[in-house]
Amino acid sequence: MKHSNYFICLLAFIIVYMLPYLLNGNDSILEIHDNLDSGFAHLKLIKEMGATTDGSMILPLLGGLPREAIPFSSIYDPNSLFCYILPGAYGLLVNIFLIKLIAAFGMFIFLRNYILKVDGFAIIVALIFSHIPFYPNLGISSAGIPMLLYALLNLRYKKKKCISLLLVMLYAFYSSLALSGLFVCFFIFIWIIALYYEEKKINCYVTISFILLCAIYLFSNWTMIFSFFSEADFKSHRIEMVNTRSFKDIIDHVINIVLFSQYHAGSFWAFMILFPFLLTIYKYRNNKSLIRYLAFYVIVISCILIGALTNFLPFGIFSSFQFERFYFLYPAVCFILLAKTVSVLRIKTNRSVIAIVLMLSAIGVTAENKNYLQNVMKIVGMKINTPSFRCFYDEVLFGQIANDINISQNYSVKVVSIGMFPSIAEYNGFWCLDAYTNSYPLQYKHQFREVISKELEKDKSLKSYFDDWGSRCYILSSEAKEFQYGKLENISIDKLDLNMFALKNLGCQYIFSSLEIKNYKELGLKFINSYTTPNSFWDIKVYKLQ
């Protein structure tokens, strides 16, 4: 079969994969954590404030948040760009499609040219790899690693130089500097040094690709980088971050990554791939090629472990930045091991063994692709407890609330939320004094802490959660520790202890709560109304500060 036919085959499979999302549209089940609960609502806020290209704007979020404090929001980032120009969930759906496509094509061309030179097996491994639940708002940080490897190896051997440099540029624009870029650049730099000692000269094309990668990262992230130097008065809450993980916690964390990968990079049952690989090494232990692949795997795991252990170093940056993010390379590394396993087995054994190995890896990926499975279940009419994109933000319900409290313009009314993610109110045009963001003024954290100080004293875990981390600047309750309570959950808050004077000083006008606050009169609140619809996931109680 010609290569073009294989590409058509891959495209067809990805389109079929996307059908549940396309059929559900805005009713798709999408990742909430680190997606709908934060970044996606921030992008809508940036778009509506006209700040897509203005990095100096102060946004109506928290006490006024500098635009450049919000990461992954550059107009040069395709991931953000699609969310800016497409309505509703469709920006995220386009991202999912492109991420899957690049993952499949990148893995196929890499395997076909450098590891597994059998088209049928390369396609199967590539499709299984693309089925990993990569985060839709992180671009190809993890999914694009095989494509980048293909480009770098081409440049190493001086093949297809123009297209390879374009692929390097694509990776730089469509991935995150903070999540994967720094760690990819680290490995490329080490590789350049190794090539110099091997060839006794600088490999020009690999070096050019490294410089190009760094230059594009600097260009596409210039507002964030510039803020570190220009905003001398901006002290981030991250300054106070403290490592609360013990040595045992870190070891358990790394073991979990080894067995299941890391959810931002894409979760899957990695042990389903590692077990056949280790059995293959044991059976064919004289195969030096297998040993080299094992050595590379150990190096990556060692980097993850060492990066995690840096949390114990007595310097602020090691507490506020995750140096174990080498795990963004982990899914690609595992599937390279899978391809190598298949490559050896196809020569040494029969195809039924290979079929079992591939089936195990497919099961291991599908089991962790929960959102996709829920979308399929939704299509066939099965009941899903997770809110869809439409139900999560529920614009109809919040339109009723906005109408009742007479909002004159978007982001003119300041609110906080309880029992629901503040991003929901933010998405619907309210100025949220609470939010989940990676960096905000330390002074505001201290002001907000006054509001919830009594609740923090009731629960040590909540106190550590806010004081030692604090990126979720939320109204925390010792009686309701979750951030999402639907209307079917029979839970209420008997006694909420808030410093109402401190909350009024922040300018708060309303509290939106998915739970009944039974002592609202003691807090000096006025109950406005309870809002829900037959199809709504929420039952929102609105309280006004008096």
- The Cβ-side half-sphere exposure at 10, using a 13 Å CA radius, reads 31
- The Cβ-side half-sphere exposure at 378, using a 13 Å CA radius, reads 24
Q: pLDDT by residue (tens digit) across 350-406?
A: 788 999 999 999 999 999 999 999 999 999 988 888 999 999 999 999 999 999 988
- Burial of 376 per CB tally in 10 Å (0-12, 13-18, 19+): middle
pLDDT value of position 218: 87
pLDDT value of position 225: 65
pLDDT value of position 52: 77
Percent of the chain residues past pLDDT 70, beyond the cut = 95
| pLDDT at position 114 over 90 | yes
Say how far apart CA 356 and CA 333 lie, in whole Å. 20
pLDDT value of position 316: 62
- Burial of 330 per CB tally in 10 Å (0-12, 13-18, 19+): buried
In degrees, rounded to 5, the angle at the alpha carbon of residue 55 between the alpha carbons of residues 449 and 230 is 75
Please list, in sequence order, all residues whose beta carbon lies within 8 angstroms of the beta carbon of residue 135, skipping any fewer than 6 positions away: 31, 34, 35, 263, 264, 266
Largest CA distance in the chain: 78
pLDDT value of position 57: 84
Give the three-state DSSP class for 61.
Answer: strand
Contact of 120 with 358, CB cutoff 8 Å? no
Average pLDDT, whole number, for the chain?
91
Say how far apart CA 345 and CA 354 lie, in whole Å. 7
Contact of 320 with 241, CB cutoff 8 Å? yes
Give the three-state DSSP class for 212.
Answer: helix
Percent of the chain residues past pLDDT 90, beyond the cut = 72
User: Which of 109, 101, 12, 9 lies closest to 339 in space, CA to CA?
Assistant: 109
Enter the tokens of residue 412.
């003119």
Say how far apart CA 373 and CA 408 lie, in whole Å. 42
Say how far apart CA 344 and CA 339 lie, in whole Å. 9
| pLDDT at position 53 over 80 | no
Say how far apart CA 276 and CA 293 lie, in whole Å. 14
Enter the tokens of residue 104.
């499949």
| pLDDT at position 214 over 80 | yes
List 58's β-bridge partners, or say none.
Answer: 66
Say how far apart CA 341 and CA 352 lie, in whole Å. 14
pLDDT value of position 415: 97
Helix/strand/coil (H/E/C) assignment for every residue in 436-472: ECCCCEHHHHHHHHHHHHHHHHHCHHHHHHHHHHCCE
User: Which of 76, 83, 86 lies closest to 53 in space, CA to CA?
Assistant: 76
pLDDT value of position 264: 94
pLDDT value of position 2: 62
Q: Count the Cβ atoms, other than its own, within 10 Å of residue 92.
A: 24
| Rounded alpha-carbon distances, angstroms, from residue 53 to 64, 77, 80 | 18, 12, 12
DSSP string covering 376-443, please? HHHHTT----SPPHHHHH-HHHHHHHHHHTT--STT-SEEEEESS-HHHHHHTT-EES-EE-S--BHH
226 band by pLDDT with thresholds 50, 70 and 90: low
Say how far apart CA 417 and CA 37 lie, in whole Å. 12
CA 1 to chain centre: 37
| Rounded alpha-carbon distances, angstroms, from residue 52 to 60, 90, 159, 271, 275 | 14, 18, 38, 42, 47
| pLDDT at position 7 over 80 | yes
Contact of 325 with 91, CB cutoff 8 Å? no
pLDDT value of position 310: 86
Say how far apart CA 429 and CA 399 lie, in whole Å. 10
| pLDDT at position 445 over 90 | yes
H helices within 232-350, ranges in order? 247-260, 271-283, 288-309, 316-320, 330-348
| Rounded alpha-carbon distances, angstroms, from residue 274 to 70, 159, 261, 279 | 37, 32, 12, 9
Q: pLDDT by residue (tens digit) across 413-438?
A: 999 999 999 999 999 999 999 999 98
Contact of 57 with 67, CB cutoff 8 Å? yes
Please list, in sequence order, all residues whose beta carbon lies within 8 angstroms of the beta carbon of residue 495, skipping any fewer than 6 positions away: 479, 518, 519
| Rounded alpha-carbon distances, angstroms, from residue 363 to 121, 269, 332, 351, 360 | 17, 8, 17, 18, 5
Q: pLDDT by residue (tens digit) across 140-198?
A: 999 999 999 999 999 999 999 999 999 999 999 999 888 899 999 999 999 999 999 88
Q: Count the Cβ atoms, other than its own, within 10 Å of residue 432.
A: 27
Q: pLDDT by residue (tens digit) across 323-345?
A: 899 999 999 999 999 999 999 99
Say how far apart CA 173 and CA 220 lie, in whole Å. 7
H helices within 200-246, ranges in order? 204-220, 222-230
Give the least confident one: 23-32, 95-104, 107-116, 402-411. Answer: 402-411
Q: Taking the complete model, does pTM exceed 0.95, yes or no?
A: no
Give the three-state DSSP class for 326.
Answer: helix
Q: pLDDT by residue (tens digit) across 276-296?
A: 999 999 988 888 889 999 999
pLDDT value of position 33: 93
Helix axes 90-114, 78-85, angle to 10 degrees: 150
Please give the average per-residue pLDDT across 250-277, as a whole number: 95
